[in-house]
């Protein structure tokens, strides 16, 4: 087991990968048993050759997508602590020792490299990315009652127990959102660490699609909220159905009936009853799923105990 594993997912990053690996090697000299892993995701340039030349251990993930790469990294690499950093040279490697210390000395499960509290909005030249980051941060902190200041950052530190109990479900860039929500919902210790951000060097292109990946992130947030808070999610539809049902019944059925003693709007009566039943179904669906989610939380706590035992056995 390594003391520290620095994980670098890479796809067509020949312009910056060598510099990133060398910078990481220099800043981690004081941390024994450190390895740098570059996981190539079907690069068509010289990313692999340059990473090997710089001193990294290069491995491959042939299923396209950052989520697929992270799934492979988390399965294969064994370490006491992990630092994940992008290969585009936008993050300061000088923050790695402090992030590592938080994990091994203070038992932090996830350290979030917070760009948004420093230079991100000045350095990033894509205004819609700025808006998207702020929107996703507000939405997740509001829905999940947390205080993660940079949801979409690719610069993070992880404990062994986080890496070995995190179920990677996403295939693309929405993986960072999934990590943030998972750590919050499983009551793991999360800390923010402010880091400076610099935009990509000229000639280096982002792999993110502002609209496409942004919609995937929002879809992921909704799906995870439904999964982690099913009662609250289905209660929204239940209450809406009941409100529309009662409004329709009173205005289109009850008020005319009080005047004429006749049910003149039979279709409205039928629709209001259908909505009432749908609201009841949504309410009890949320209740049942909430009970299942409670059992899942108990099972996860047991998996954490198993991960801790495995960590102690492996690190002996």
Residue 179 and residue 85 share a domain: yes
Residue 140 and residue 21 share a domain: yes
* Residue 67: both structure tokens together: 């989520």
Mean pLDDT over 92-99 rounds to: 95
**What percent of the chain has a predicted confidence (pLDDT) above 70?**
95
Mean pLDDT over 188-193 rounds to: 95
Residue ending a domain, among 169, 203, 228, is 228
Binned at pLDDT 50, 70 and 90, residue 263 comes out as: confident
**CA 160, CA 277: separation in Å to the nearest integer?**
47
Q: Can you give the pLDDT at residue 316?
A: 66
Q: What residue numbers bound the domain in which 133 lies?
A: 2-228
Mean pLDDT over 287-308 rounds to: 88
**What percent of the chain has a predicted confidence (pLDDT) above 90?**
68
Q: Can you give the pLDDT at residue 214?
A: 80
Residue 218 and residue 105 share a domain: yes
Convert the pLDDT of each residue in 200-230 to its tens digit.
776 666 666 667 878 888 899 999 999 999 9
User: For residue 260, how many other CB atoms are within 10 A of its CB?
Assistant: 9
Residue ending a domain, among 208, 228, 248, is 228
User: Phi, psi (5° rounding) for residue 114?
Assistant: -85, 105
* Residue 79: both structure tokens together: 């370490």
Convert the pLDDT of each residue in 125-150 to its tens digit.
676 677 878 888 999 999 999 999 99
Max distance between CA atoms of the chain, in angstroms, equals 88
In this predicted structure, the answer to whether residue 308 has a pLDDT above a threshold of 90 is no
Residue 164 and residue 275 share a domain: no
**CA 250, CA 213: separation in Å to the nearest integer?**
44
Residue 184 and residue 37 share a domain: yes
Residue 296 or 313, more confident: 296
Q: Can you give the pLDDT at residue 210?
A: 67
Which stretch of 66-70, 182-186, 203-207, 281-285 has the lowest confidence by average pLDDT? 203-207
Mean pLDDT over 227-240 rounds to: 95
Residue ending a domain, among 228, 246, 271, is 228
Task: For the chain, give the number of residues.
Answer: 316
User: Phi, psi (5° rounding) for residue 119?
Assistant: -110, 5
DSSP 200: P
Q: Can you give the pLDDT at residue 215?
A: 85
In this predicted structure, the answer to whether residue 101 has a pLDDT above a threshold of 80 is yes
Closest CA to 189 of 110, 104, 295: 110
Residue 196 and residue 75 share a domain: yes
Q: Can you give the pLDDT at residue 206?
A: 66
Q: How far apart are the first and last CA of the chain?
A: 9
Mean pLDDT over 274-292 rounds to: 95
Residue 310 and residue 166 share a domain: no
* Residue 134: both structure tokens together: 């702020």
Mean pLDDT over 26-30 rounds to: 94
User: For residue 185, how many other CB atoms are within 10 A of its CB?
Assistant: 18
How far lies 258's CA from each of 108, 214, 254, 261, 264, in Å? 65, 51, 6, 6, 11
β-strands 2-10, 79-84: how paired?
A: parallel
Residue 248 and residue 161 share a domain: no
Residue with tokens 């009941």, as numbered in its chain: 242
* Residue 257: both structure tokens together: 């009936």
Residue 252 and residue 184 share a domain: no
Residue 276 or 213, more confident: 276
Residue 236 and residue 94 share a domain: no
Residue 156 and residue 274 share a domain: no
Which stretch of 16-30, 141-155, 226-240, 249-263 has the lowest confidence by average pLDDT? 249-263
The CATH number given to whatever domain includes residue 130 is 3.90.550.10
Q: Can you give the pLDDT at residue 208?
A: 67
Q: Can you give the pLDDT at residue 311?
A: 81
Convert the pLDDT of each residue in 289-298 to its tens digit.
999 988 888 8
Domain count, the chain: 2
Residue 197 and residue 238 share a domain: no
């Amino acid at each position: 087991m390594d003391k520290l594993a620095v994980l670098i997912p890479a796809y067509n990053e020949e312009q910056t990968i060598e510099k990133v690996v060398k910078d990481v090697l220099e800043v981690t000299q004081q941390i024994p048993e450190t390895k740098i892993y570059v996981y190539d995701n079907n690069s068509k340039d010289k990313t692999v050759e340059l990473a090997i030349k710089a001193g990294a251990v290069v491995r491959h993930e042939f299923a396209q997508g950052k989520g697929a790469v992270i799934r492979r990294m988390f399965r294969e690499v064994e370490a006491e602590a992990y630092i994940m950093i992008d290969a585009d040279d936008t993050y300061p490697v000088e923050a790695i020792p402090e992030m590592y210390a938080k994990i091994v000395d203070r038992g932090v499960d996830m350290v979030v490299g917070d760009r948004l509290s420093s230079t991100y909005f000045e350095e990033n030249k894509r205004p819609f990315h700025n808006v998207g980051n702020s929107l996703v941060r507000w939405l997740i902190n509001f829905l999940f009652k947390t205080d993660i200041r940079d949801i979409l950052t690719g610069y993070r530190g992880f404990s062994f127990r986080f890496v070995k109990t995190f179920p990677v479900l996403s295939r693309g860039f929405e993986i960072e959102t999934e990590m943030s929500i998972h750590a919050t919902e499983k009551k793991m210790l999360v800390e923010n660490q402010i880091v400076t951000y610099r935009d990509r060097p000229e000639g280096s292109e982002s792999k993110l699609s502002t609209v496409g990946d942004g919609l995937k992130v929002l879809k992921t947030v909704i799906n995870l909220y439904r999964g982690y808070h099913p009662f609250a999610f289905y209660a929204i539809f239940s209450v809406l159905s009941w409100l529309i049902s009662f409004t329709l019944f009173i205005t289109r059925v009850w008020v005319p009936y009080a005047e004429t003693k006749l049910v003149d709007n039979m279709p409205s009566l039928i629709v209001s009853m259908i909505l009432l039943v749908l609201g009841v179904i949504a309410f009890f669906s949320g209740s049942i799923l909430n009970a299942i989610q409670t059992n899942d939380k108990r099972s996860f706590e047991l998996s954490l105990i198993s991960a801790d035992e495995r960590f102690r056995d492996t690190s002996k």
